[in-house]
Structure 1
Amino acid sequence: MWRLLTISFLLLNHSSDVLGALYGPTSNVKVLNGDAFKKAISSEGVAIVEFYAEWCGHCKAFAKHVDEAAKILKNVIPVIAVDDATLSSQYNVKGYPTVKIFQGENKTPDVVEYNGARTSQDLVKFAMKTLNRYIKQKAEPNDAKPKKGKESRNGRVVELTDSNFSKLVLSDEASQWLVMFYAPWCGHCRQLEPEWTRMSSISKDAKIGRVDCTVNTNLTAQFGIKGYPTIKLLNQGPKSASNAITYQGPRNANDILEFAKTHFHNIGPPLFVESTQDLEKYCSGPLCILAFLPQNDHLNQNLEIMTSAIKDNSRLPFKFCYTLANEHPQWESTLGLESFPAVVGLNVAKGIFSLLQTGFSERNLSTFVKTILSGKASAGILPGKLNDSANPRCEDL
């Protein structure tokens, strides 16, 4: 038998030991605070939560509807009121009364804000609808649910969930992410799906993911999703719902990727290159800045110089890379490098390169980049293809 879902109406004030004044001892609304509340919402099921304050006139008017809803839902869905200012802050309450729905079977349930009418009838309808959806999800076979943390059957479109979003997206400061928030029943979402899939196969920089809002209600609330599909860009660097950028242009792969490109910024550190496969990945379009750095006591200092130069040129859509001097003699010979550190601007696809003629410094690197972009840099044609050298290095002889 299903465990009863819990509806918690959190009534915020600084009292934590006595019953709230709006709900007396004969009320069907239970008053809980602190650990008692946390224990209640961590149990199996759903909790619908209203935050209020004793001094709030709207809350006093709403209380009779909460009480009536609790009476109707008695022995079906318990209604709980919590008077706790700490919980108000924890759950980001901006005004009173605020109703939120908690859903989950652990100590960190999903949370979605309720924006319906403040009547007992609407509260009951909302509660029962949530209950029915929860039961349907519980009854769904495991193999019918999306795989967690795996790429979907559509290729590189990553299925993002309440449980993996932080690890895969928010913690990935080095990458751009384009995320589609959708509902399976949404016709516009189904129309966008082929473009979203195609985008995942042609995107060179942005990672592509999607969130099923009917299942991942915490993310839906966190990002303030009001309609489907909603496309969010999370740029390189620290990521959060507050700095995500909403895309509002045409829903096709090329336009969406162009939007991401206009917001691109490089944050470093430089990428390590150790094979021609890496060169093709990072230096084929439009170009890369490739440094050959000696393996000595100055290596970390030189990498810091490159990282600073990256930050100075963060909006440029190309990679800053490095490899170790004397590790690739064929590359060095083809590029005409004789002393290190050495830096080249390289486009493998077009077979062209430009050599930094000045000393290795943050200022000179930034000047070199600007010279290339202005078209004033002296460019040469690669005399041959860059290959992974099979010849032994001097220290191997």
Structure 2
Amino acid sequence: MRPLLLGVLCCSLVLPVRAFYSAGDDVVELTPSNFNKEVLQSDSLWLIEFYAPWCGHCQSLTADWKKVATALKGIVKVGAVDADQHKSLGSQYGVRGFPTIKIFGANKNKPEDYQGGRGNQAIVDGAMNLLRTLVKDRMSGKYGSSSSNKQSGGGGGGSKQDVVELTDDNFDKMVLEGDTVWLVEFFAPWCGHCKSLEPEWAAAASAVKEQTKGKVRLGAMDATVHQAVSGRYGIRGFPTIKIFRKGEEPEDYQGGRTRGDIIERALDLFSDHAAPPELLEILNKDILTKTCEDSQLCVIGFLPHILDTGAAGRNGYLKVMMQMAEKYKKKTWGWLWIEAGAQMELEASLGIGGFGYPAMAAINARKMKFALLRGSFSETGIHEFLRELSVGRGSTATLGGGTMPKIHTVEPWDGKDGELPEEEDYDLSDVDLDDNMSKTEL
């Protein structure tokens, strides 16, 4: 299912922070301290809203969310996470906009995104449909209760198999010689804090492996057995967590010990070492569709005609865009460009024509919303434009027609200066100009 991301192109009003829900409401307030027990170890179906107190759309949803919780009381659990305060939980589940509603069903490790309407009746109807599906699956044997499916040591939060067992024999080859970034826990079997960390480490290992496609891994080493490596790095207390990056000295992990904290740090490490997204020229429909549908936001530059700028001018604009793609590489955004006039239907749907070139638009394809760069096409201007969008501000509009416009297949730019079309030569040797002029005058 596609992620539901409202906050990127919403929440334009900032109000004083206040608590949305109280003990008297049927909405369960969730935090890193109770999320594991309440949600991950539960057999119940959960609907959970991730919100930010300053988000206008979140404020508008509050009354309906309370009604939903009351209507579903005893049937479906309804919770809420202040993801502005508890960033580790939001990061753990890929929340990048507000409000985001996630469904924690049979497989609590892989919640789905709620895609239905936002009225209380629509949400209740959607929850009942989800509940019927869950019951049907359980009757067919597809799923047992979540308690029967829990992995050892993880409380339903992850598999020990995703924690790589490291030894004196395999440490150098796996950790030091590869390109993977590693978080390594040095533990002792008798250590109480190590035992407490074990399920959090396992859950984080599963999530990090999946979200980074194996580019960041979590390992564990019994320092009482494998003393050569442990001694090399001066391990004195347990658990000790160190970060290993190829060609660099290891650093001590300084973050929290919940799975959310660990995942958040691992994703930061992944982003720091990830290459910036590719800047693609829109040559056909597939490039635009895939980039925009696979991305939280797609940023499109409309560059002047090559005859207006030459190769040097165009490369200058592309350099600015690539620098901004590098700056915002932690965002799951796509980056595209097109020559002005090559895709007139796209320009018309965005209202580009009235601003001149170069121009820029940011499109949320899932909501069919867009925003236009009003400032300068420069690092400063684009940064300000994207920064406003990333915190849920900025002026937005609905894409013309509510769908992606027709995209024509065009030839890629060859990297060269443009050439004026050759004028056709006319042979006037056989034309009697005087005779033709006299006929015209008659």
Q: Same fold (TM over 0.5)?
A: no
Considering Cα pairs closer than 8 Å and 6+ residues apart, tell me whether 1 or 2 has the greater RCO. 2
User: Normalising by the residue count of structure 2, what TM-score does the alignment of the two structures yield?
Assistant: 0.38
